[in-house]
Chains A and B, each alone.
Chain A
Amino acid sequence: DMKVTQMPRYLIKRMGENVLLECGQDMSHETMYWYRQDPGLGLQLIYISYDVDSNSEGDIPKGYRVSRKKREHFSLILDSAKTNQTSVYFCASSLGTGTTNERLFFGHGTKLSVL
């Protein structure tokens, strides 16, 4: 069963706290992504990972960092969370063959509230 799993589904943190969002996939996909979704702004790419320890900044990386030590896991870390990081965060994966017809598989999202 092809699946991208995100934990937790909901998270409430206070400003200044550290946040760890976890993502796993069971499809042996090479490429993994972190997006955030805000009303009216669509999906904005935070980071993309092409494989273990091979990560690149997306469009809005400031305030975030990522870790990928195993192909199936990709973590998003917020050091000292800010209220403007309140959002829904989606992890996604794709096969990563380099062909231009790939499909993104999304997790169910993590709704983060920073108070």
Chain B
Amino acid sequence: SAVISQKPSRDICQRGTSLTIQCQVDSQVTMMFWYRQQPGQSLTLIATANQGSEATYESGFVIDKFPISRPNLTFSTLTVSNMSPEDSSIYLCSVGSRNSGTDTQYFGPGTRLTVL
């Protein structure tokens, strides 16, 4: 499977500021996704990062709050804008890899965000 890295691994930010999280893959992948995992909770899909076009957001997530870029097949960024303490979470990127005829996902190590 692909090797996935994320930067930063963790950060503590002040409310009202923005943070950009980077996701880098060591090989070209078709699909990249961004998830949020609040403490003790499950994984919630934020959006699908589409290469060369706008991301596809899930219900409850909007581009103004979570702008996503995907300039090529190995890299994507997620920005958490105008942060509030409710945005404190782990943010994970995942990449799709074909497995048994369908796409499964492999996760990056995550970015632990604390908003004060």
User: Do these two chains interact?
Assistant: no
B interface residues (Cβ-Cβ under 8 A, vs A): none
A interface residues (Cβ-Cβ under 8 A, vs B): none
